[in-house]
Amino acid sequence: MTARRLAITDVGEAAAHALRSIFDVLNGRTACRWELVGDPADADVVATSDFDTNSSRTHDARVRGKRVIAIVESTDARARVQTPYILMHPFRVMQVLSVLDEIADDLKHPELRIASNDGPNPWAFAESVRALSALSAPATWYRAQDRNGAEIIVTGNLHGCACEPQLFEQIRSGTTTLGALAPALVHSVPARYVRPPMTELLWHNAITASAALAPWLSARGSFRLVRWPDFGSIPSTRAQLQMVAALSRRACTPPELARATGASEPEIHRLLNALSLCGLLSVSEYTLADRSEAAAGTSVGGVIHALIGGLRRSLMRVS
């Protein structure tokens, strides 16, 4: 079993004690063997409450470049959590287990990019959403801001969000980048805010974030659709419809999807990113069975092939 080292630093006494206690209970039940070390320089993973972007600790070379678990001990609205791994004190044992196992899995893939404090991270918002989805904290509000300080607030259970109409337009058009979510004290939602459906926010955020595959997805993965996105509410291109239709029929790797639909690599990455963040995708390791399934699924009969071309021309005429 692989061994990983964890350092707990700049965490309040109560939270640090609780974390160590849970750690002792959990060790042996996690995906890898964890060892507590005192110096962050010796650790693979650092658990810290001092995760503010401007803090000296997060700029410390001993911490930079390592996986960071943000320990949230208060609802400090100023905090900017630049890590997908968040634990809120008081801790729940299963949350700690889940975060440790996720990091252990993450560390198996060194090519995955760690959320960085250097410049805007296009995935900061998405990764904090993914971390939040493991917390299930409905009573708490979270806030993210773009570079201009415009804010969007999100409920802890990820069922609702609210922001200025202008900010949502910018998110839709991909002209702004949201930072990570952080706990916020929100007494009431300003009346001028719009409340877009959460899935639309996640879709637009992910599809415009980057032409590269999201950090939590592997190019070696085989992807299959769990549920269709609502293209009646979010705009779609024919390439996206073709890709989603293909993924609804069989699991595909990105190259298989490219062969099946003729979509470009950036189109494929953006779609997979959006489907994944919206929870519409299942991912598995690529297998030989997938390969034969994919090969079997690509033949469309001559009548259908002719019909598809004819129908498309006809529909273009109608539109």
Partner 1 sequence: MTDMPELKLVFTGPMGAGKTTAIAAISDMAPVLTDVANSDRAAFDKDSTTVALDYGQLSLDDGTVVRLYGTPGQERFGFMRTILCRGAIGIILLLDGSRDDAISSLDDFLGGIRKLDPMPATVIGVGRCGSSDAPVLVRAKHHLQQLGLTLPMFRVDVRRREDVLLLVETLVCLLEAGAGPETMQ
Q: Could you please report the per-residue DSSP string of 200-266?
A: HHHHHHHHHH-SSPPTTS-TTEEEEESS---TTTS---HHHHHHHHHHHHS-B-HHHHHHHH---HH
Q: HSE on the CB side for 115, CA within 13 Å? A: 27
CB of 173 to partner 1, least distance (A): 18
Query: Exposure of 40 by Cβ count < 10 A (0-12 exposed, 13-18 middle, 19+ buried)?
Result: buried
Q: Which is nearer to partner 1, 120 or 262 (CB)?
A: 262
Burial state string for 171-195 with b = 16 or more CB within 10 A and e = fewer than 16? bbeeebbbbbbbbbebeeeeeebee
C-alpha distance from residue 86 to each of 82, 122, 192, 227, 296 (Å): 10, 18, 31, 28, 43
Binding residues among 203-262 for partner 1 as defined by CB under 8 A: 225-228, 230-234, 236, 238, 241-242, 244-246, 248-249, 260
Burial of 35 (0-12, 13-18, 19+ CB in 10 A): middle
Closest distance of CB 200 from partner 1, Å: 6
Window of 25-33, 35-43, 69-77, 301-309 that interacts with partner 1 by CB under 8 A: 301-309
Is residue 244 within 8 A of residue 276, CB to CB? The reply is: no
284 binds partner 1 (CB under 8 A): no
Cβ closest to partner 1, residue 77 vs residue 234: 234
Look up residue 143 and give its two tokens.
Answer: 């806030």
Nearer to partner 1, 148 or 299 (CB): 299
Closer residue to partner 1 (CB): 75 or 242: 242
For the record, the structure tokens of 33 come out as 């063997």
Rounded to a whole number of angstroms, the distance between the first and last alpha carbons of the chain is 60
Number of residues that bind partner 1 (CB under 8 A): 41
Q: Quick check: 311 binds partner 1 (CB under 8 A)? A: yes
119 is an interface residue for partner 1 by CB under 8 A: no
Pick the closer one to partner 1 by CB: 22 or 246.
246
Shorter beta-carbon distance to partner 1: residue 38 or 228: 228
C-alpha–C-alpha distance, residues 304 and 306, integer Å: 5
Q: How far is the CB of 175 from partner 1 (least distance, A)?
A: 22
Site for partner 1 in 150-209 (CB under 8 A): 197-200
Residue 38 found at the interface with partner 1 (CB under 8 A) = no
**Residue 156 C-beta: closest distance to partner 1, Å:** 17
- Is 18 near partner 1 (CB under 8 A)? no
Q: Which two tokens stand for residue 107?
A: 């560390």
Comparing CB distances to partner 1, the nearer of 1 and 316 is 316
* Contacting residues toward partner 1, per CB under 8 A: 197-200, 225-228, 230-234, 236, 238, 241-242, 244-246, 248-249, 260, 297-301, 303-304, 306-308, 310-315, 318-319
